[in-house]
Amino acid sequence: MNNQTISIFKPLFEQQLNIPNNNVCIRCNAKYKNPLIPWIVGSKYFEQEERLLFIGKPHRGNTGNFPDSKILDATTHLDWLKDCSWPYWKYTRNILEKLYGIEDPWDYACFTNLIKCTNVGDDDPPNDTTSYEMARNCIVDLEVIYHEIKRLEPKTIIFYTYSLYKELLRDFPMKVNALTYVTIKPENNKVKCGNKLLGWWERKISTSWSDNVRVLVTGHPQFMKYDEYVQLLTNWIRP
C-alpha cells in the first residue's frame, strides 16, 4: 500500500496551519490534541476518473506521533487496515474492492477524518464525544478539511459524518471556492438501508479542478446492513 500522506500533509499541519499550537487549537476543548494526518493517499488515486475521497468521523487513539511532533502518524496503521473487521474500514474496503478489484484496493482512493483531534484515547471507552466546539474549530475556523480537499482535488467525496454536526458543512461549496453548486438530494433526505434509514445528502459542485465534483454526506457504516450499505455506496460512486 503506497502512500503519499506524509509528504503532502505533515507540512500543511505543522507549518502552514501550525496544528495544534495555533490559538484556535489552544482554546479548543479536545481531550487529546494530537491531530491525525490523513490515513491514505493511494498511489493510483490521481490516475482514477472518480478520484475518490472518504471522510470519516474523529479517530480513536492518542499515540503514534512523529518524533518531536504532536502530529499522529496514520501511516503506521496501514497494514492493519487490510484485515480490520470494524465496519468503518471493512465496508469501505469492500466498496473499493467492488470498484477496483481485491488487490491493494486502498491504492485507488484517499481516506481522512473530518475532525483532526479526539476525545477517545487508547484506554478510553469507544463512545464518540466530539463536541460542537471541536467541530467548529476544525471545520469552520481552521478549515483543515478544506485545505486537504483543495490539495487532493477529488471528484467524488463521501462524508461518513451525517450525524456529526452536518450543519457545519452547509458552506462546503464556498469553502472550496466552488464556481457553482446544486443540491441533488436535500440535507434531511434519507434512503432505506436494510431496516434502517440512512442519511443521504447529495450535492454537485463546479471547482477549479473539475466542473463535476459529486459530494455525498451519509451515515456512518456501523450498525448498517453490510451488503445493502456497500451496494448503495458503490452504485452511487459509479451510477
- List, for residues 166-176, the tens digit of each pLDDT value: 999 999 999 99
CB 34 within 8 Å of CB 91 = no
Residue written as grid cell 472518504: 54
Domain count, the chain: 1
For residue range 107-132, list pLDDT tens digits in order: 999 999 999 999 998 888 888 889 99
What the block records as the C-alpha cell of 218 is: 451519509
Q: What percent of the chain has pLDDT over 90?
A: 74
1: pLDDT strictly greater than 70:
no
**Bigger pLDDT: 150 vs 129:** 150
Beta bridge partners, 158, equal: 54, 216
174: containing domain: 5-237
The confidence band for 192, taking pLDDT boundaries of 50, 70 and 90, is very high
User: What is the value of pTM for the model shown?
Assistant: 0.95
Q: What share of the chain is helix, strand, coil (3-state, %, to 5)?
A: 35, 20, 45
For residue range 51-104, list pLDDT tens digits in order: 999 999 998 888 888 989 999 988 887 777 777 777 788 899 999 999 999 788
Output the pLDDT for position 239.
Answer: 84
Q: What percent of the chain has pLDDT over 70?
A: 99
What is the 3-class SS of 77-117, one letter each residue?
A: HHHHHCCCCCHHHHHHHHHHHHHHCCCCHHHHEEEEECCCC
Q: Please, what is the average pLDDT of the chain?
A: 92
The confidence band for 2, taking pLDDT boundaries of 50, 70 and 90, is low
DSSP alpha helices (H): ranges in 101-214? 132-136, 144-152, 172-175
Q: Cis bond leading into 125, ω under 30°?
A: no
CATH assignment at residue 158? 3.40.470
Output the pLDDT for position 63.
Answer: 85
Q: What is the mean pLDDT of residues 193-200?
A: 92
Question: Nearest to residue 238, comparing CAs of 153, 155, 148?
Answer: 155
Output the pLDDT for position 181.
Answer: 95
